[in-house]
Amino acid sequence: MPNTSCEIVESLFNHAAAPAPSLKALAIFRGSFSHPGEMSDDLTEGQTAVVPDGFVINLWQRGFGRTVGPFYSSRDPATNIEVMAFRVEEHHANGMNNCHGGMLMSFADMAWGRVISNQREVGWVTIRLVTDFIGPGLMGDWVEGTSEIIAEDGDIFTVAGRVWSGERVLMTGTGVYKGIRSIRRKAGYREAKE
């Protein structure tokens, strides 16, 4: 009875109806499961590249944020408007070596929802996100995004947002978010340290 991932796959291919995989294919498959990748807190070359003045790394360093980040932000203290950002790296790439559309949508969701956190001090979940792809995020691009609240009905917020790199607009759209809890912050929380 097979009990490991490799044994299960090998047993599937050991039936006469299907051709057996090549030794090279089995070796690649075994290697992908028998030696899990090392986890590391080390930053990549792209992550340590120059970060524009005024941007600080976000605190979200676990789970999904750790997988697709790191993310940075810059907040204007006078207006409380925040711009989120990330640098396009290899782990964000699609098959054409540009930023994957799913990554841009994930980033837009986070960057656009932040206006609710910052201006209403409310945590939120996404109800709907509608995006239009305007241009590609290229490898190494510094990508930024922000939004504004355009409608509010109780705990439902509608925002209009934009994602860009330099002078190029990459994406525009709208998001509908539901406020779920208060997130009042202490003075100075998440401000840049000198």
Q: Record the pTM.
A: 0.70
Asked if residue 137 and residue 66 are part of one domain, the reply reads yes
96: tokens are: 């054409």
179: tokens are: 């406020």
Name the burial class of residue 141, with classes exposed (0-12), middle (13-18) and buried (19+) by CB atoms within 10 angstroms of its CB. Answer: buried
Asked if residue 93 and residue 11 are part of one domain, the reply reads no
What is the chain's pLDDT, residue by residue, as a tens digit (194 residues)? Answer: 555 544 544 544 444 444 455 554 444 434 433 334 444 556 566 555 688 999 998 877 678 888 888 899 999 888 888 999 999 999 999 999 999 999 999 999 999 999 999 889 889 999 999 999 999 999 999 999 999 999 999 999 999 999 999 999 999 999 999 999 777 665 555 544 44
| Stretch (H or E) spanning 158 | strand 156-165
Domain count along the chain: 2
49 found inside a domain: no
Q: Write out the residue range of the structural domain in which residue 13 sits.
A: 5-34
